[in-house]
Structures are given as C-alpha cells and as structure tokens.
C-alpha cells in the first residue's frame, strides 16, 4: 500500500468500526518503508468516542512513539527512515503496562508506563492508517500524514512471543491478525493511496 507525495489529509485507509471487543493486550506487526525524513509521521491511529488517542504509532527520524490510552511509550533509538523495508512489531499488555518493540524479528527494547496498567482499548473505534485522528474518523493534520509504503499490517488481541515474531520475519509469512487483518484494508483506501499486488 503506497502513501504518495504530496502529503495530504485525503490519503488514508480506514476501518470503522475496527475492533469488536475491548483490548487488554495487543500485538501490532507491519512492514514499512519510509523513503525520506519529513519530520514526524503517523503510521496508525485508533480513536474512540472516549479517547481520540487510544492507540497511535508516531514515527520520528530517530524515535518511535507508541501511545495507549493517550499514554506515551517512547523508543529513542529506532530509526525507520532508511529507505528499506523493515518489519516492526509492538506488543502491549495491561498487567505490567509494558510495551516491547521488535525490529526485523529481533527484540530491541521495552518501555513501561504504569498509567496503562489495567487499561483497555475500547471497542468500536476507528482505525486509520496514515493519519492522526482528533475525532473518530477525522480531525486529520497534514503535517502528521504518512508518506511511504506499508504491507502486512496485522493486529492480535494477545502479546505475541519473541519466537512468534521472529518466525514472521524469517519466514516472510504473516498469519492473519485476529483483530485487524491486512487483507481487509485493500478495499478501504481513500484519496491517492494505491494498492500494489505482488
């Protein structure tokens, strides 16, 4: 899936409603290729009527920010702007309030935010690829628009193990997400976003 230039609030893919049940844990895995450094870009945002920042991945040149329930996990040594395909997985669970980051199948670090302990993402919200939502399905900001390529974006309602994630990367075969399934997004694009078949 290609998010072209010029960056525009018209370019996104949206599933609404996206999540059927509240989530006390999750794993989100995807392949991404960012062609140049344009400041911060939003890869995905999940907004509900209770919390427009219920889940966000925001990518900076040398940092990756992950939000759950508007609470921040900051990964400060992750450069995703190197013009190659990279496999990224983030897991989060509310028993410890811990998020783990994996890059190209390898565990690269974890962050704790105790404010997310016992939190649950609320069902029924809107999941948008390529834009940051300030309301359910809207309130986009051009300066946070994605310019790049995505593939195999999937989400699960559990914390995947390190071996599960390593297998996704090394086998290049990704099982369908139980919460978000990449194949569903092909018909949910807007604006100039295009889908390239392999």
Residues at the interface with Ca ion (CB under 5 A)? 52-53, 134
Question: Is the Cβ of residue 45 or residue 154 nearer to Ca ion in the bound state?
Answer: 45
DSSP string of 89-134? EEEEETTTTEEEEEETTEEEEEEE-GGGTT--BPTT-EEEES---S
Q: Which is nearer to Ca ion, 37 or 134 (CB)?
A: 134
Cα torsion angle, 188, 126, 26, 90, sign: positive
């Amino acid at each position: 899936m290609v998010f072209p230039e010029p960056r525009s609030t018209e370019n996104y893919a949206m599933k609404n409603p996206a999540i059927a049940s509240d989530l006390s844990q999750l794993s989100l895995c995807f392949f991404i290729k960012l062609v140049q450094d344009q400041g911060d870009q939003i890869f995905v945002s999940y907004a509900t009527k209770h919390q427009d920042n219920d889940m966000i991945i925001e990518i900076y040149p040398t940092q990756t920010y992950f939000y759950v329930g508007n609470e921040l996990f900051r990964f400060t040594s992750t450069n995703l702007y190197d013009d190659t395909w990279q496999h990224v997985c983030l897991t989060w669970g509310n028993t410890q309030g811990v998020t783990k980051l994996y890059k190209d199948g390898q565990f690269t670090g974890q962050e704790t935010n105790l404010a997310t302990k016992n939190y649950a993402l609320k069902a029924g919200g809107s999941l948008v690829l390529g834009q940051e939502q300030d309301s359910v399905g809207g309130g986009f900001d051009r300066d946070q628009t994605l310019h790049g390529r995505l593939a195999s974006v999937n989400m699960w309602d559990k914390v995947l193990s390190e071996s599960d994630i390593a297998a996704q990367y090394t086998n290049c075969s990704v099982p369908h997400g139980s919460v978000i399934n990449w194949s569903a997004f092909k018909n949910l694009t807007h604006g100039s976003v295009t889908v390239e078949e392999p």
